[in-house]
Structures are given as C-alpha cells and as structure tokens.
Structure 1
Amino acid sequence: MRRAALPVLIAITLAVGCTRAHYRKSADRAAYPIVADREALGPGYGIGRLQLEPPPGSRLADPFNPDHPPKPPDDRAAGALMDHPYKFHGSRWWGKDGHTDLIEPVGWEAALAPDDRGTVYLNQNKSAEVALLNSREYQTALEDVYLSALSLTLNRFEFDLRWFGRNATAFNHAGLPEPNGSSTLTSNSDLGFNRNFAAGGQLLIDFANSIVYTSTGDNPQVRSNLLFNLTQPLLRNFGRKVRLEGLTQSERDVLYAVRDFARFRKSFYVSVAVQSGGYLDLLLAVQTLRNSEANLKRQEETYRLYAELFRGGRASVVEVDQFYQSFQGARQDVLNTRVALEGAKDQFKLVLGLPPRLPIELDVTPLDPFVLTDPKLEQLRDDLEAFQRARLQELDAPPSVEVLRRVFTALRDLAKNGPSAVTSAGADLDAFGRQLDHPARPTDDPEQRARDRATYTALKTALTEEAADLEKATARIERDAAGVTEETRKAAWEASVEGAKLFLTALDGVIAVQTQARIYRIELPEVNVSQGPALAFAKENRLDLQNRLGQATDAWRKVTVAANALRGGVDVVASANLTTDPERNQPLRFSSELSTYTVGLQFDGPLNRVAERNAYRLSLITYQRAKRSVVELSDRIEFQIRQDIRELERTRASFAIARQQVLSAARQYENSRLNLIGPKDRRTANDSTTLALIQALSALQAARNALAANFVLFEQRRLQLLLDLEELQLDDRGFPTNAAPRSPDRPGPAAPAPAPRAGAPGP
C-alpha cells in the first residue's frame, strides 16, 4: 500500500497547485516584457505607465489583497439570491476573506493636495496628471493592452512543452464482506508532454503507470507504458504559413494594441488639457463669465447714474426704464453663464475621474492677456463714478463749506493717481510698439501691419493729449479747492462736479488707450506648416495608418491559410508503445517483445469543402476590404490635415476680425459714455444716447467673447493638427515634449522641448 501512497500524494499536490499570487505574478512576468518589447519597436510607441495596478494615491487603487479581496457591499435584493439560490442554501464560505463596505479607497483625495477647505487647485498639467491617475477610461484602455499581451502568452505556450500529470486511484470491493469478498485498489498515473511544431507536426510523449493491489495478499501488479505519437500533415494544415498563423496574428495584435494605446494616450491628453470640455474650454467659460460680470458692472454703474440724473430732472423715465431692462438682462446673463460654468466643471471632473462634489479651483493665469484694463485704473474709475453719484445726490442742497472742503480733499486724492494711470497705459503702449518692430512673418498682411502702425501712432498722440487733460483737470481741481468759501458754496459744488467729470473723461481716454494696446498685444502662436510635407509626414508616422497597413497584410495572409483548407488531408502518423511485462512488476524495464510500432498515412479527400469554400471566398473579400480601408484612412488623414490647416487659417483670420470688433466696440462705448458723463460741451443725454450705450455694451461683450473664443479655438485646432500629424509626443508623465508642428524646412521629427509651464494655454 505504501507504493500506492506516493502517486496519490503527488496527484494531490499537483491538483492543489500553486497560490493565486503565484499565478498572478507569473502572468505579469510573461505579459509586461511583451508590451515593453513592442514599445521599443518605434519612437512613438511609448505608453507611459506600464504597471497595471493604479498607484496608491489613485481613486482606482485597491487597498486589499488582490488575490483574496474581501466581499464588497452587495445589492440587498441580489444578495438574497446569492444566499438562497433556487431552493438551496448558498455557500457559507463566501465571506472567508472578510467583508468591506468600500468600493473606492479611503483618503484617496489626499493625493490631490487639497487646501484646508478641501478645494483642489488645477492647472493644465495638473489636470492631465490627475486624469492619468484617476480616469476610468484610461485605466480600461491600459488593461486592454495588458490583456492583448496576456492572450499572446497563451499562443506562445501552444508551441512550448506542455506538461501534464494525471492520476486516478479507485478502491473496489466485490462480494461479501471480508474475508469472503475481494477488494482491489487501482492507481493509474500519467506523466508526459505535448509539443507542436512550426510546420504543423504534433508530438505526444506519455509515460503511463498502473498499480493494482488486491486483498488476497498477492504481489501488486505494476505495468508501465511509454507512448510516442507523432503526426505530420503533408497537404492540409502543413507548413509554417498555416500553422504559425494564430501565433503570428497574436504577436502583431499586441503591436497594434500598443500603437492604439499610444495614440489614445495622446488623444486623452488633448481632450483633458485642450479640447472641447477640457481645461482650456473651462478657461473659456471662465472668461465668458468674466465678460458677463464686467458687462453687468458697467450696466449697473450706468443705471445708477441714470437714476441720479432722473432725480435731477436730466433723464427721462423712458431712459431709466430702458437701462433698467438692459441691467436686468445683464444680471440674467451672469446667472446663466455661472450655472453653465459650474456644469462644465462637474463634467470636467467626470473626465478626470473625480466626483462632481469635489470643489476645484482653476489656475486662470492664462487669461491674463484678456484683462484689458489695469485693475488699479478700473478701481480709480469706479471711485470717481461713486464720487460723481454722491455729488448728484446733493443737487438740491449743496453741502456746507466744511463738507465741500472734505469733498475736494477726496477729489484731489483721486486726482493724484493720474500720472500712474498714464504710466500704466504707456507701458502697454510701448509693448505694443515693440511688437510692431518684429520682422514680418509670411502670414502677416502688409496692409494690416500698416494699419496697426497707424493705430499705434494715433494712440501715442491720444495718450499725450489725455495726459495733458489729466494735468489740466488736476490743476483745475486744485484751483477750485482753494476757492471754497461760504459765498461760493454753490459754485464750488458745481466746480467739484465739473472737475470730477473732466478728470473722469480724461481717465476714460487713458483707459481706452490701454485697452486698445492690450487688445493688440494678444497674439496667436505661429504655425508654419506646408500641406505637402505635412501630408507626407503624417502618412509615414500615423500609428493608426501603420496598424491599418498591418491589418491589410493580415487579411492577405489569411487568403493563403483559407486556401490551404481547400486541400485534401494527407498526414504521416507514427507511434511507438513501449510496455513492461506485467508479471515482473518492474515499472521501468520495458520489453521489446510486448512493444508495438506503427507508421502510416491518413488520407482525407476534398469531397466536402463547402464551408472551406465559403471561408476562402470570404477571405478574398476581406482582403479587398482591408485594402480599401487603408485607402479610406489615408484619404481621411489627408482630409483631416487639410481641414486642420484651413481651420487654423480661418480661425487666425476670425481672431483678427474679432480683435478689430473689440476695438470698434470699445471705442463706441467710450464715445457713448462720454456723451453721458463728459463735460457740458460734450454731453447730450437723450434717448439716442441711451440706446447707443445699450447697443455699445452689448456689442462690446459679444466682441470680447468672440475674441476669447477664437483664441481658445485656435489653440484647440493647433493641438488637433499636432495630433493628426502624429507629431504630438508625450513623456513618461504624459506631458507634451514638443510645442509646435515641425517646420516644413526642418526634416525629421520635431526636436524635443521642455514640457509646458504649468498653466500655459497650450503645450
């Protein structure tokens, strides 16, 4: 019986096998190198993080033992069916690894570095980093690459030695109980391997051992067989073309998967950082809200001024009502824009893999070019308007001398800021002038450059005149302040009102100069791409086109494989069965007298090949479709790039038009405002002035929105061109290493450049 115990013990050990962790790690050791090998085949095949399990700081991380995870929270109704399937009691061992109420790890938000209020600050690169860490879409795509490599390991294993070990042990009793009956213990064991060959042959080697014990006490019967079996096709299923097809396809599929993921990774960055719904799109929504809030502020200030003018009898109720309606419309616009921004933020959080409840705050420094007025100048104008409204409230009862002196002191303090206002505007105007000194670019319009230079000259003259007006207004305020007496109380009050108007009018002129200079300073990045070299570069480097070419070759190979199945079957079969003498009980002493050897041919005539015929015809059609698919994608790439270049050119032109519209709308607003608040010789408050102000404010808001939209749209299309050219390259972190398309006169791929600074409006 001891001899039977050994094969039984071996069988139990083999049946139990290794641990779950051993097999998981074994799969990783086989799959990861395959993916790494494919990455090394091309410069654009990098996929970044290769490790399948998300890092600990990810929301997708699993803090539990991956091989023995605890039971997760279950749906109550479905859980009842797990505990009592049909009429049975469910297993009591489902919870042997414990229970958890968690689906996502606790404290994953700490990796986002929130502030004390729990708010997460995001810039462009931080957004991409968070998405790579927490995006479910990205993790699923990475797992697909791993699964393709894992599938290949099975195809490779098919051509390795495939060992097997089996044992069957049975106890049999017949007749009456002992000692009258008879009992038999039989143990049959097999140990061997299969091997497939590249030309289609198959080899089987099997060592079989049988041990029989009986209750009669006789010596056990031991018998062994050593079986060799070789099959080699000669027609059907013969040759490396046919037999290696599955392995070849699987090897190429992993390369396709790596390329697809490398391209997905680039598209993922562009969608998160730039494209519609991405970070840059959020910044556009922020700028739109800023424009709406600025319009609301101007509407409210002007409405308050109209209300004071109405009290003094210098504005009609119709004018007040008209501006009140416009003011309420601006309030509604701010509400709508703010709700749209918050909805866009929540949608962006979903893209990043974050819960919508998580508060985020965006780095808005890329919007600095759209701040068209120095905040200090804006505050100075607000203070002057508040001063003016306060004076209008004193229309029926001029204040005392003491109050008037304090009024003039406040006005003088405001007027002291005049030189700094001129300096601020002059700095922007000088920067605009230096910009005009840059050499002309191929895409520049000579006529537009001449107009811009003329505008610069006119602005320089205007700033000099407004500076002089500020000095005059300041001097007048000083003179009027010194003449305040009880006898001149009413005249002094009127002088304070008129002095504030003169200074405010000159300040508006300074702000108008600064606004126009800053508008001109907003420029789009240069993109020098020629259509011919761009198309050639894309067709040589597009990863999806490379895959499509490979898939056409796959379809071409399968024509040969399908044609092989039409042939008759002729197989050479050889076998040898070496056996031992059962009477000697010597399991390794094979007897030549009892051994058998066989060799022969097996023939299967091609008399029924309807299914194979159809498969062959299908392979021919599939190949033609694959070729057409290559041509179709090649044409689509041409269309994409031609469209990208056209759209870039159109967006650049639209941006220039929007800039001129902002300039025109700003001038119209300043002129209409001057008609309302300017000196007596310029003021003509009436219905036409009110309508002109309302229209100018509406046009200015629309033009500013259009300018920002075209700026963002150009950046989105510029990145789309990089993506369509397959020239966008990412580093291991997932950030771009090149900032612009390759110049047509610089052959080869773009030289790597540092990653963009955090918060830049594009890579």
Structure 2
Amino acid sequence: MIFWTGCDPVHQAQKADEEVAAIMGARASDPRWKQAALAPMPPDHSRLDAFAKVEDDPASFAVLERLAGRRLPNDWLLPEFLEDTGWLEALPTDESGRVVLDMRSAVETGVRNSRDFQLRREDLFLSALDVSGEQFLFRPRLFAGGGIDMENREDGISNPGKDSAGTLDAQIRLGLATGGEFVLNLANTFLWDLSGGSGETASGLLGFRFVQPLLQQGGRAWALFDLAQAERTFLSNLRRMYQYQQSYYVEVVAGQRLSSGPTQGSGGGIAGNGGSRVGGFLGFLQDRQQIRNLEANVARLRDSHAQLLAAFEAGRINNRLQVDQARQALFNAQSRLLQEQARQASALDGFKVDLGLPPTLEVNLQDPVLDRFALVNPEVTKLQDAVGDVLDVVRSPDNAGDNEVLAEGLSRIRELEKGVRVALVGLQEDLNSLQESLPVRKLQLSNLEERSEVNDVGLDVSLFSVDLMIETRNRLNSNHDRLKLEFARLWPEIVNLEVSLEEKELAVVRQEFVDLCTNLSGLLLELSLDQAAARLEGVAMVSADIEADSALTIARENRLDWMNERTILHDEWRRTGLYRNALRSSFDLVLAGDLEAGDGDRSPLRFHRRRGLLKGGIRLDTPVTRRLERNAYRESLIRFDRARRKYIAYEDAVALQLRDTLRTLRLEQLNFELRRAAVRVAIDQVDLARLRLNQPPQPGKGGQFGATTARDLVSALRDLLDAQNEFLEAWVGYEVLRMVLDFQLGTMRVDDQNLWLDPAEPQ
C-alpha cells in the first residue's frame, strides 16, 4: 500500500526531525555554541502548544461550502486540538494564586512561551533542512513507477482484438563529488493478448548512463558548492542562534535586542548595538522604584504642608501663599504619581505579551536586585502617610468639636509605635551594611580619584574622599541614637494626652495633639532621610575595567558574528569560482550501456550479453560566446570587493562599538559618584529646610519664616526626587552596559536555562 498511497505524513515529519537532530548533533559539538542545538518544537509546558479551537470565519467558510458542497475535504478542515493548561500550571505563583516572576523565572518563562524565540528555533531547523536536502543529492536515490494500459481494437482496423500492457520502471541516480552523475535504469514491459491470440510476452531493459564534466561544471569546487554553502550557512546559524540566546536574556532583563538570530540566507551584520533606554524586567523594577520614590516624595510634601499649615496657624508665617504653594506641589506630585502608575501598568501588559503570556494574566514582578535603591523603606512612607491622614482628619473644621475623632486619632497614633521601632531597627541594619561595604567603597574611591578625567574637568576631589564617607557614617550613627531618644520621649506624651482628654478643654488638647503629630511627622522625615543617606553610601559598583586594544583582541577571538563575517567573505570569493567555471569550455565524458531481456523468454529479468550495447563519447562546446558569463563573472568580482569593504567596515564598527561602550562605562563610574553626591546634597537641603520649620520662635517675634521658606522646601524635595531617580538610573544603566560589554566581547555565556553566567559572580 505504501507504493500506492505514499508514506504516512506523520512518519515523514518524524524522519525529518531525526535527520535534523543528527545534523545538529554533529555540527554543535563545539562548546562555544553547543547550547544552540534546540529542537524545533516548543518545550514542555509551553503556551505555544496549548492551541485552543478557533472557529473559521462564517463568511469565508461559506465560500468553501459553495465550492465543495456540504461535505468538505478533510484536508480543508482544521483538526481538533485539545487545549492544554499545563503552561499555566508551570508558572510560579504565590499563596493567592497570582503569578510571581523574578528575573530568573521571567527569562525561563520567555524561553518556553515567547513566539519570537520559537520563530528562531524554527529558522534554525529550516537551515538544517537545507543541509539535509543538499546531502540527499550525493546519496543513491531510488525512483520507481509503472503503469497499465488496455487497448480494444474493433474489426474495422488492422489486428482487431484486445490486449493489455504493463510497465515497471526503476531508476537509481547518484551525484558524484567530482560533478559527474551516474544513472541506472531498469524498465520492464508485460503484454497480454486478451483476444486469444499470441498469449503474453515480456521484455526488459537494463541501462546505465555516466556523465562526467571535465571542464565547465566539473570538479569538486563546482559540485560541492551548494552543499558546502548549506553546511557553512547552518554553522553560521548555529552561532547566530547562540548569540540570539544571549541577546534574549538581555532583551528580557534590559529590553535591548542585540542579535536577530538565524536567517534563511547568509546575511551578516554587526550584533551588539543596543538602545539607550533601559526596558525589560530591570526597566520595570526601575520604574517601580521611581514610583516608590514618588510615593515617598508625596509623603514628604504632605508632611511639609502639614508643618507649614501648623506654622501659619501659629502665626509664624505671615502669608498663606507659602502654604498654598506647598499644597499645589502636593497636588502636582499626586497627579504625576497617578500617571506613572498607569504607564507602568501598560508597560507590564506589554512585557507579558513579549514573554508570550496573555495581557489579561495577573502577574507580579518581584526581585531584590534593586532593593538597595529603595533609599526610603516603604514602611516608613506608610507611617508618614498614616500620620498625615490623622492630621488631615483632626485639622478638618468639621471635626473641630468632635471628641471621638480626637480620641480615635490618638489611638491610631499610638498604634504606630511598633512600626516606628521596626523602622529604627531597619536603620541600624542599614548602618551595619554601610560598615560592611566600606572596604570595597574605599578601594573604588581611591581608583576613581586617580583618574585623569578628575583633573581634566576639575571635579571636586572631595567627591572621592574616604574621610567624608566615614564622617557621614559617624554622623548617621549619632543621629540614630538621638532619634531613639526623641521617639522614646514622644510616646509617653501621647499617652498623657489621652489621659488629659477628659480633663482639659477640647481645643487645647486638639492643638497639643496637632503639635505632637507635627513633631512625629518631622522625626519620621528625619528617619527617612537618615535611612536614605545610609543606603546611599552603601551602594557599590562592580568593576569593569579593560583597555580598548585588549577588548578588540578578545572580541576578534570570541565573537561569533565576527566568525560569521569571515565565513561570509570567504563564501563570496568561492562564489566567484562558479562564474569562472562558467567561462570554460564544456567538455564532458559520456558513457552509456544497455542490456535487453526477452526475445521470446517469459522472464523480463533474464538479460543477455549478446543483446547488450556499450557506447562512449565526449561532448564539446567551445567558449566562442561567453558574454553573459563574462558579465556575470565581472559582477561577482565586484560583489566580492563589496564584501571585502563590508568586512573592513564590520571590523571598524566593532572597534567603534567597543570603544564607545568602554568610554561610557568609565564615564558612568564617575557619573555614579556625582549622582551619589547629588542625592547627598539634596538630602542635606531637605534637612536644612526641615530644620528651619522646626526652629523655635525668637522672643517677641511672631513670623520667623522668610518669604521663600515653602518654595525652598518644595524645591529641595523635588531635587531629592530627581537625584534619587538619576542615581538609580546611573546604576541600572551601568549594569546593563556591563552586560552588553560581555556580549560585545563575545565572552557572554548562558546556561541551559538561558540565564547569564555573570563573570563578576563566583560560578
């Protein structure tokens, strides 16, 4: 039945998969790209395999019914697929069932479910199929067929009667590495006379033909060109695939695509050119941290507005304009916070789609990599918000005479005591971490201070002062001890105020409570600033120092796309050989022979040497007219010259790329310290503005605040927010550049889960 219907399509697909697997196994033995040998099918627990049933468009389906009737051919109907939800169960979840992804699981999820990654798997598979097809031409190829003919001749013509003839043909073809071809033919014919005449006869013919071009289209250079090209292209695609795997990690983590992956042709191009903006997982964490900075800024503005309002009510501010300026700044910050939250929600949906997940899936991205840049603990921000909420309620004119509102406010403030104690412990832990990071920070500061750029642009050398950092640590330790005492004195006062609620006038207690809350708010602000300063000084960078000449040497030896560019250049030169070959004379050696069977025998396979034929000869076509071939050859030389220039341009582009990356890395190391200093100055500005609000009034004077007090405070808070964000962006940008440099050097490695093996971390 196989001869009649052909092999099972499923079996044929499996055989193709087996051939490609063998080709990949043989070509991917080099450890530099061994992990690129991926199967074409999506991995286990992939959403790409969970294909739900999709109904055809009704109007389009009606076209099929109009053409073929109600009973459509099976090949026109989409087969039934069972929807598999295993991909969803494979995702990591928390206790509530919500999907939670860290950096590692985000990359693993993308490798399983990304449509783009799957497309690259298939491109590599198709490239291997090209190799299989070219190899097939140099293997014995069997072709077989036959037929039956029946003939009925009426009485009115000669030889009336009926007869039937059957034929059976077979052929074996073999391509040779020298450019020749050998063909073996077997033909059998059976004739039955159905009219009762001569009975049946059989005949057979066994023949061969051998053609060997000796000049044009002859030789291994011509015959093996397509096979060699397919093999070399597949090897290049293996390297492109591994580069794409490296690039995919960078794309998921930082939102930058550095390689396009395998191609069907032999196209090249420089890899490693990323964008300037950080996206992906790190970009999302960066945006979320900046939102937390915004939330902390809103809390600080709220506290500042409360303090300014209290000062205005106490007569220490003569003009309400300053209070309204602070309030306007608070509204602007809240509006910006809402906009950033909406933008991040949209970015998260886009990131889910990039990973191959539906945007409707609830996903939370969590990773501690940027926790060190949460300069203010979110729990401290919540404490500040809680105090601000209580102050808003108590200060409201509608609640001026409400004893229950005041009592509830006192109770809520007392409940914050535990949270404040935890925050003080957190500050102590941050100070301990700062102490542990001092040796690394000292070494980095010493190295930066010796940079020539420091003197060239006149940077303040105090930015790299180890003594200043130690002085900051000592000051923060002293402030921590003082804050513990200040908070310890505050809680008994709140308890006493609760007791006096029944003894004193409500207005007096209310004012004392507002003063206590304002003091508590100021202490929390100071705590948050000290915590920010401690965390600020403890952040260190990973060193990535290398000279440009050394980097270029490393890249020349290790970059996979550089290997491919050399391959493309040599391929282009080999291609000129095809056109040189076409300029030659056509001079072929031909051998052929036949053996016949039959001659009265009933066996079509009984061949007789006496009925054999052997012939040979040569065929010659002189190169009298070769204008088209000449033009094609000249064009191929021009294409080769272009390929040489392209290769030189590639080398220059890599050198430029590396020099630019290394220059930017050196710049970012200095810029990081400048950003750190900017945050340090911004913290001092906020602290000074806060101290001005807390200064006691001078005897005999009412309004002690200047006309710019509120504006200075709002400006200081805005500068602190901007400095925090720029400090975070500098570190994230540096880490992404360090990752990109590893890729550009060709030394980047990913493991079996497609995770980066960071050279700065012990393996």
Query: TM-score, length-normalised on structure 2?
Result: 0.85
For residues 406 and 131 of structure 1, do their structure 2 counterparts lie closer, same or farther at Cα, with a shift above 3 Å needed? closer
For residues 183 and 734 of structure 1, do their structure 2 counterparts lie closer, same or farther at Cα, with a shift above 3 Å needed? same
Matched residue type, 2:58: R
Q: Is the contact made by 1:72 and 1:99 (CA closer than 8 Å) also made in structure 2?
A: no
The answer to whether the aligner puts 1:131 opposite 2:134 as a matched pair is no
Match of 2:239 among 254, 259, 268: 259
Match of 1:603 among 616, 620, 630: 620
Q: Within 5 Å, which residues of 2 pair with 1:371-386?
A: 371-374=374-377, 378=381
Deviations 1:100-122 (A, max 9, x none): 488x7556322224457653111
Matched residue type, 2:118: Q
Shift, 1:302, TM fit: 3.0
Match of 1:161 among 140, 162, 170: 140
Shift, 1:542, TM fit: 0.8
Matched residue type, 2:252: V
Q: Within 5 Å, which residues of 2 pair with 1:542-553?
A: 542-553=559-570
Deviations 1:207-264 (A, max 9, x none): 1111111123323111111101111111111111111111111111110111111111
How many pairs does the alignment contain?
721
Aligned match of 2:645 = 628
Match of 2:187 among 204, 208, 228: 208
Find the aligned partners of 2:423 and 2:97 in 1 and give their Cα distance: 39
Find the aligned partners of 1:466 and 1:136 in 2 and give their Cα distance: 53
Aligned match of 1:645 = 662
Shift, 1:365, TM fit: 2.2
The answer to whether the aligner puts 1:274 opposite 2:254 as a matched pair is yes
Aligned match of 2:220 = 240
The answer to whether the aligner puts 1:453 opposite 2:453 as a matched pair is no
Shift, 1:714, TM fit: 1.0
For residues 448 and 385 of structure 1, do their structure 2 counterparts lie closer, same or farther at Cα, with a shift above 3 Å needed? same
Find the aligned partners of 1:410 and 1:205 in 2 and give their Cα distance: 98
Find the aligned partners of 2:162 and 2:412 in 1 and give their Cα distance: 119
For residues 383 and 197 of structure 1, do their structure 2 counterparts lie closer, same or farther at Cα, with a shift above 3 Å needed? closer
Find the aligned partners of 1:345 and 1:407 in 2 and give their Cα distance: 38
For residues 297 and 585 of structure 1, do their structure 2 counterparts lie closer, same or farther at Cα, with a shift above 3 Å needed? same
Find the aligned partners of 2:38 and 2:527 in 1 and give their Cα distance: 58
Shift, 1:676, TM fit: 2.3
The answer to whether the aligner puts 1:720 opposite 2:740 as a matched pair is yes
Q: Within 5 Å, which residues of 2 pair with 1:377-416?
A: 378=381
For residues 511 and 180 of structure 1, do their structure 2 counterparts lie closer, same or farther at Cα, with a shift above 3 Å needed? closer
Match of 2:478 among 464, 486, 498: 464
Find the aligned partners of 2:618 and 2:490 in 1 and give their Cα distance: 120
Q: What SS does the corresponding residue of 1:729 show, helix, strand or coil?
A: coil
Aligned match of 1:352 = 355
Matched residue type, 2:576: V
When structure 1 is superposed on structure 2, of 521-530 and 121-130 the one drifting more is 521-530
Find the aligned partners of 2:413 and 2:58 in 1 and give their Cα distance: 73
Matched residue type, 1:282: F
Q: Is the contact made by 2:36 and 2:241 (CA closer than 8 Å) also made in structure 1?
A: no
Aligned match of 1:173 = 152
Q: Is the contact made by 1:422 and 1:467 (CA closer than 8 Å) also made in structure 2?
A: no
Shift, 1:642, TM fit: 1.0
Q: What SS does the corresponding residue of 1:607 show, helix, strand or coil?
A: coil
Matched residue type, 2:248: F
Shift, 1:626, TM fit: 1.8
Matched residue type, 1:278: G
Aligned match of 1:283 = 285
Match of 2:687 among 670, 679, 686: 670
Q: Within 5 Å, which residues of 2 pair with 1:62-141?
A: 73-85=55-67, 89=69, 92-94=72-74, 99-100=79-80, 105-106=84-85, 108-114=87-93, 119-141=98-120
Shift, 1:139, TM fit: 0.6
Matched residue type, 2:146: N
Shift, 1:535, TM fit: 1.0
Aligned match of 2:34 = 46
When structure 1 is superposed on structure 2, of 618-627 and 303-312 the one drifting more is 303-312
Shift, 1:305, TM fit: 4.3
Q: Within 5 Å, which residues of 2 pair with 1:555-570?
A: 555-570=572-587
Find the aligned partners of 2:544 and 2:510 in 1 and give their Cα distance: 59
Q: What SS does the corresponding residue of 1:52 show, helix, strand or coil?
A: coil
For residues 320 and 233 of structure 1, do their structure 2 counterparts lie closer, same or farther at Cα, with a shift above 3 Å needed? same
Find the aligned partners of 1:481 and 1:94 in 2 and give their Cα distance: 83
Q: What SS does the corresponding residue of 1:730 show, helix, strand or coil?
A: coil
Q: Is the contact made by 2:178 and 2:220 (CA closer than 8 Å) also made in structure 1?
A: yes
For residues 115 and 100 of structure 1, do their structure 2 counterparts lie closer, same or farther at Cα, with a shift above 3 Å needed? farther
Find the aligned partners of 2:330 and 2:650 in 1 and give their Cα distance: 53
Q: What SS does the corresponding residue of 1:440 show, helix, strand or coil?
A: helix
Deviations 1:709-731 (A, max 9, x none): 11211111111111111111111
Find the aligned partners of 1:626 and 1:403 in 2 and give their Cα distance: 82
For residues 458 and 398 of structure 1, do their structure 2 counterparts lie closer, same or farther at Cα, with a shift above 3 Å needed? farther
Aligned match of 1:60 = 48
Find the aligned partners of 2:46 and 2:637 in 1 and give their Cα distance: 48
Identity %: 27
Find the aligned partners of 1:416 and 1:185 in 2 and give their Cα distance: 105
Deviations 1:706-763 (A, max 9, x none): 11111211111111111111111111211122334xxxxxxxxxxx954xxxxxxxxx
For residues 508 and 590 of structure 1, do their structure 2 counterparts lie closer, same or farther at Cα, with a shift above 3 Å needed? closer
For residues 169 and 445 of structure 1, do their structure 2 counterparts lie closer, same or farther at Cα, with a shift above 3 Å needed? same
Find the aligned partners of 1:409 and 1:98 in 2 and give their Cα distance: 67
Aligned match of 1:333 = 336
Query: TM-score, length-normalised on structure 1?
Result: 0.85
Q: Within 5 Å, which residues of 2 pair with 1:572-611?
A: 572-611=589-628
For residues 633 and 322 of structure 1, do their structure 2 counterparts lie closer, same or farther at Cα, with a shift above 3 Å needed? same
Q: Within 5 Å, which residues of 2 pair with 1:459-498?
A: 459-461=473-475, 463-464=477-478, 467-468=481-482, 471=485
Shift, 1:286, TM fit: 0.7
Find the aligned partners of 1:221 and 1:618 in 2 and give their Cα distance: 60
When structure 1 is superposed on structure 2, of 487-496 and 322-331 the one drifting more is 487-496
Shift, 1:629, TM fit: 2.0
Find the aligned partners of 2:159 and 2:590 in 1 and give their Cα distance: 49
Shift, 1:174, TM fit: 1.2
Q: Is the contact made by 1:308 and 1:393 (CA closer than 8 Å) also made in structure 2?
A: no
Shift, 1:99, TM fit: 4.8
Q: Is the contact made by 1:289 and 1:334 (CA closer than 8 Å) also made in structure 2?
A: yes
